[in-house]
């Protein structure tokens, strides 16, 4: 199933979110072979060919198909005419990093995890999104110590459902981090500090079946 919904994101604007299982996204296209690969740029095809797992390749394709379809629905630009690009703020490579649409006036972010994909789109504000699957996931003391400041780890441990509490904390932080230029500082900052440092005007989490989604929104497209 593929679900689309619109969420208010502060200052009178909205974020459109589309989630789905990769196999459902790719299924109508006849599988993750030639037709979907044809949608990839040269840089994307190089990354795709280096990916080691079938699931990783499927998610990589599915999130790009989902993004193009959502852009078509919002802007009217046909999905196969949407030009997507990525560039890395860390190393300058054109092969990875935050995605952007070259020929449509939208801001977008996407994420994939264990066969589930999500795309967030805004016409006015920069967005960040993350998805993490609860399946095969467990919270260990080592993970808590490595991933979160002490106060946040304590909040997670105090929750009834520790796995979901951790992923709600984690996905929203990763979504916030995707608004900033240095994703790696994420775990050293608590959620409020992170939100302030990237200028977020809204951030939240959503449960989608066995996945948790985090969303973050900046004040404007250029912030
Ligand atoms: C951003 C990051 C935290 C996401 O990792 P993840 O949890 O494995 O993957 P997710 O599914 O949540 O998100 C991946 C998507 O985030 C986006 N993304 C990647 N880097 C990003 C950044 N710096 N800012 C915003 N979005 C970014 C891309 O759309 C990417 O999709 P793709 O892999 O299909 O190209 C991770 O890529 C990271 O730590 N990046 C910083 C370091 C880095 O990029 N090193 C690469 C070599 S310089
Ligand atoms: Zn890089």
Instruction: State which of 85, 103, 127 marks the end of a domain.
Output: 127
Whether 42 and 112 map to the same domain: the answer is: yes
Domain around 173: 134-202
Whether 105 and 48 map to the same domain: the answer is: yes
Q: What percent of the chain has pLDDT over 90?
A: 75
DSSP H or E stretch at residue 130: strand 127-133
Torsion of CA 134, 140, 142, 148, to 10 degrees: 50
Q: Look at residue 30 in the predicted model and tell me its pLDDT.
A: 62
Whether 59 and 77 map to the same domain: the answer is: yes
- Which DSSP state fits 162? H
Whether 71 and 119 map to the same domain: the answer is: yes
Whether 143 and 95 map to the same domain: the answer is: no
Whether 215 maps to a domain, the answer reads no
* 170 Cβ closer than 6 Å to some ligand 1 atom: no
Q: Which residues contact 53 (CB under 8 A, 6 or more apart)?
A: none
Whether 109 and 154 map to the same domain: the answer is: no
Whether 160 and 116 map to the same domain: the answer is: no
Q: Which residues contact 192 (CB under 8 A, 6 or more apart)?
A: none
Q: Look at residue 34 in the predicted model and tell me its pLDDT.
A: 66
Q: What is the pLDDT of residues 151-202, one digit of tens each?
A: 999 999 999 899 999 999 999 999 999 998 888 888 889 999 999 999 999 9
Taking the model in full, what pTM does it have?
A: 0.95
Whether 10 and 100 map to the same domain: the answer is: yes
Whether 123 and 19 map to the same domain: the answer is: yes
Q: Look at residue 223 in the predicted model and tell me its pLDDT.
A: 60
Q: Look at residue 191 in the predicted model and tell me its pLDDT.
A: 95
Whether 70 maps to a domain, the answer reads yes
CATH of the domain at 8: 3.90.470.20
Whether 162 and 111 map to the same domain: the answer is: no
* 45 Cβ closer than 6 Å to some ligand 1 atom: no
Query: How many domains is the chain built from?
Result: 2
- Burial of 108: CB neighbours in 10 Å, binned 0-12, 13-18, 19+: buried
Q: What is the pLDDT of residues 91-144, one digit of tens each?
A: 988 889 999 999 999 999 999 999 999 999 999 899 999 999 999 899 999 999
Cα of 130 from ligand 1 centre, angstroms: 10
Question: Residues 67-85: what's their mean pLDDT?
Answer: 95
Q: For a pocket test of ligand 1, which of 55, 91, 96 has the largest count of ligand atoms closer than 8 A to its C-beta?
A: 96
- Evaluate whether 95 touches 43 at the Cβ level (below 8 Å): yes
Whether 10 and 110 map to the same domain: the answer is: yes
Whether 75 and 14 map to the same domain: the answer is: yes
Q: What is the DSSP string of 12-80?
A: T-EEEEEEEEHHHHHGGGTSSSHHHHTTS-HHHHHHHHH---HHHHHHHHHHHHHHHHHHHHHH---GG
- Which DSSP state fits 185? G
Whether 223 maps to a domain, the answer reads no
């Amino acid at each position: 199933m593929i679900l689309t919904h619109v969420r208010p994101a502060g200052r009178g604007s909205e974020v459109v979110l589309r989630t789905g299982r990769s196999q459902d996204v790719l299924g109508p296209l006849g599988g993750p072979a030639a037709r979907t690969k044809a949608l990839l740029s040269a840089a994307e095809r190089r990354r795709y060919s280096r990916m080691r797992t079938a699931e990783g390749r499927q998610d990589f394709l599915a999130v790009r198909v989902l993004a193009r379809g959502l852009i078509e629905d919002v802007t009217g630009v046909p999905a196969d005419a949407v030009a997507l690009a990525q560039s890395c703020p860390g190393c300058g490579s054109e092969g990875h990093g935050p995605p952007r649409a070259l020929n449509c006036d939208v801001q977008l972010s996407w994420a994939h995890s264990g066969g589930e994909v999500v795309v967030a789109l805004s016409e006015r504000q920069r967005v960040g999104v993350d998805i993490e699957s609860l399946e095969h996931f467990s919270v260990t003391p080592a993970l808590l110590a490595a991933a979160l400041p002490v106060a946040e780890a304590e909040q997670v441990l105090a929750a009834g459902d520790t796995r979901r509490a951790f992923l709600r904390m984690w996905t929203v932080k990763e979504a916030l981090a995707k608004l900033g230029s240095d994703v790696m500082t994420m775990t050293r900052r608590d959620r409020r500090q992170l939100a302030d440092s990237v200028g977020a005007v809204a951030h939240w989490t959503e449960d989608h079946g066995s996945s948790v989604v985090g969303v973050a929104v900046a004040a404007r497209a250029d912030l």
